[in-house]
């Protein structure tokens, strides 16, 4: 596999009146061509800021990418000129967002909004762009595509709008599609349809995907790899089956216990993680999860845990991950 994207030590801070919000605090990861990477974590842990930083969509000020490299197809996106990064956006890297109700411009037809990128990046004329837009709408399963091109967003349901967003994202055949919680705002049946759609499109087109969610259940079926984020840091990364079977970080364990699982008996209770994520302005030293962690020892609140590679494909940032595993096999709680 060839590496498509490599993020090294990315830090994005917001300089606000309350202080410096350390939204993304030194994250590193790799993504191969055609791979689907899921990023999970609670609300506010920096998932969106982390991926928006990749194509420099952070509102600036107050935001600023203070450190790091984002190597995409061999070039550092953070060093590019404004013109160059614009040619990457919507073209090589496309992004779709959480709320399809507000992410489309209400006063422009969806045809216009899809064709815009085609004309900009692929140099198509109106005629060609229109044809391609119809193809795209058909591809994402919108019936009567030709007629619907001249409709406005309010004439579509939420699920249909997210399909439009996906069509727009895929319009220029991107190498990487970033989907920031694309199903969170939709109801459950529609969620499943969208997940299936993306799964199918990925097989057809072969782009890599970064799929953000705060629901581990959603990505279980489609992700290759999962990154778990907490308070602006990566606390665990593993291949999807490995992560579900052998969570090494207490936070990951907590996340898994808080979602319903079909393969578990009904007697298994859902346990929410207690407490709240920390304030990202005044991060205390040590592991940010420590205050909520049942494995906490003194060291946790004093020193940042290093990132340990349990296997080449499984890493965790926790002082006590060995105890976490030991406990699990002891309790027979090993999840397969």
Ligand X SMILES: Nc1ncnc2c1ncn2[C@@H]1O[C@H](COP(=O)(O)OP(=O)(O)OP(=O)(O)O)[C@@H](O)[C@H]1O
Chain residues binding Mg ion by CB under 5 A are: 48
State phi, psi for 101 to the nearest 5 degrees: -75, -30
Residue 148 in tokens: 């619907």
How many Å apart are CA 113 and CA 252, to the nearest integer?
A: 39
Give the largest CA-CA distance in the chain. Answer: 67
Report, in Å, the least distance between residue 59 CB and ligand X: 5
How many Å apart are CA 253 and CA 247, to the nearest integer?
A: 6
Is 72 or 244 the residue whose CB approaches other proteins more closely?
A: 72
Is 63 or 141 the residue whose CB approaches ligand X more closely?
A: 63
Is 57 or 283 the residue whose CB approaches other proteins more closely?
A: 57
Q: Could you say which of other proteins, Mg ion, ligand X, none residue 103 binds, taking C-beta under 5 to 8 angstroms by partner kind?
A: other proteins
Q: Using CB under 8 A, pick the residue from 6, 42, 116, 224 that binds other proteins.
A: 116
Q: How many CA atoms lie within 13 A of 194 on its CB side?
A: 29
Q: Could you say which of Mg ion, other proteins, ligand X, none residue 46 binds, taking C-beta under 5 to 8 angstroms by partner kind?
A: ligand X
- 3-state secondary structure at position 326: helix
Report, in Å, the least distance between residue 258 CB and other proteins: 28
State phi, psi for 63 to the nearest 5 degrees: -80, 155
Sheet holding 225-230, edge to edge: 93-96, 176-180, 208-213, 36-40, 225-230, 233-239, 314-316, 308-311
143 contributes a contact to other proteins by CB under 8 A:
no
54 contributes a contact to other proteins by CB under 8 A:
no
State phi, psi for 4 to the nearest 5 degrees: -95, -45
126 contributes a contact to other proteins by CB under 8 A:
no
152 contributes a contact to other proteins by CB under 8 A:
yes
Q: Could you say which of other proteins, Mg ion, ligand X, none residue 95 binds, taking C-beta under 5 to 8 angstroms by partner kind?
A: other proteins
Q: Could you say which of other proteins, ligand X, Mg ion, none residue 21 binds, taking C-beta under 5 to 8 angstroms by partner kind?
A: ligand X
161 contributes a contact to other proteins by CB under 8 A:
no
State phi, psi for 85 to the nearest 5 degrees: -65, -30
Q: Using CB under 8 A, pick the residue from 5, 77, 94, 149 that binds other proteins.
A: 94
Report, in Å, the least distance between residue 300 CB and ligand X: 22
103 contributes a contact to other proteins by CB under 8 A:
yes
**Cβ atoms of 194 and 167 closer than 8 Å:** no
Is 119 or 258 the residue whose CB approaches other proteins more closely?
A: 119
């Amino acid at each position: 596999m060839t590496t498509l994207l490599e993020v090294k030590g990315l830090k994005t801070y917001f300089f606000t009146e309350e202080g410096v919000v350390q939204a993304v605090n030194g994250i590193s990861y790799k993504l191969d061509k055609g791979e689907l990477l899921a990023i999970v974590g609670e609300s506010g842990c920096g998932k969106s800021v982390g991926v928006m930083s990749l194509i420099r969509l952070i509102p600036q000020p107050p935001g600023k990418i203070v450190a790091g490299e984002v190597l995409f197809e061999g070039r550092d996106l953070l060093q590019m000129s404004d013109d160059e990064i614009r040619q990457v956006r919507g073209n090589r890297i496309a992004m779709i967002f959480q709320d399809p109700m507000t992410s489309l411009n209400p006063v422009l037809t969806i045809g216009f909004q899809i064709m815009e990128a085609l004309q900009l990046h692929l140099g198509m004329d109106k005629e060609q762009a229109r044809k391609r837009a119809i193809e795209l709408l058909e591809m994402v399963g919108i019936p009567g595509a030709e007629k619907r091109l001249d409709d406005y967003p309010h004439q579509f349901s939420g699920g249909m709008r997210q399909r439009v967003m996906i069509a727009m994202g895929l319009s220029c055949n991107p190498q990487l599609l970033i989907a920031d919680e694309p199903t969170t705002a939709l109801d459950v049946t529609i969620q499943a349809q969208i997940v299936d759609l993306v799964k199918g499109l990925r097989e057809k087109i072969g782009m890599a995907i970064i799929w953000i969610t705060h629901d581990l259940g959603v990505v279980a079926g489609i992700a290759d790899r999962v990154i778990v984020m907490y308070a602006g840091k990566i606390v665990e990364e593993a291949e999807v089956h490995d992560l579900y079977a052998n969570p090494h970080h207490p936070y990951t364990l907590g996340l898994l216990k808080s979602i319903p699982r079909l393969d578990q008996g009904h007697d298994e209770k859902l346990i929410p993680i207690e407490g709240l994520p920390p304030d990202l302005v005044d991060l205390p030293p040590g592991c940010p999860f420590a205050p909520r962690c049942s494995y906490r020892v003194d060291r946790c609140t004093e020193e940042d845990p290093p990132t340990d590679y349990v296997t080449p494909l499984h890493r965790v940032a926790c002082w006590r991950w060995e105890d976490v595993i030991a406990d699990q096999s002891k309790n027979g709680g090993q999840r397969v």
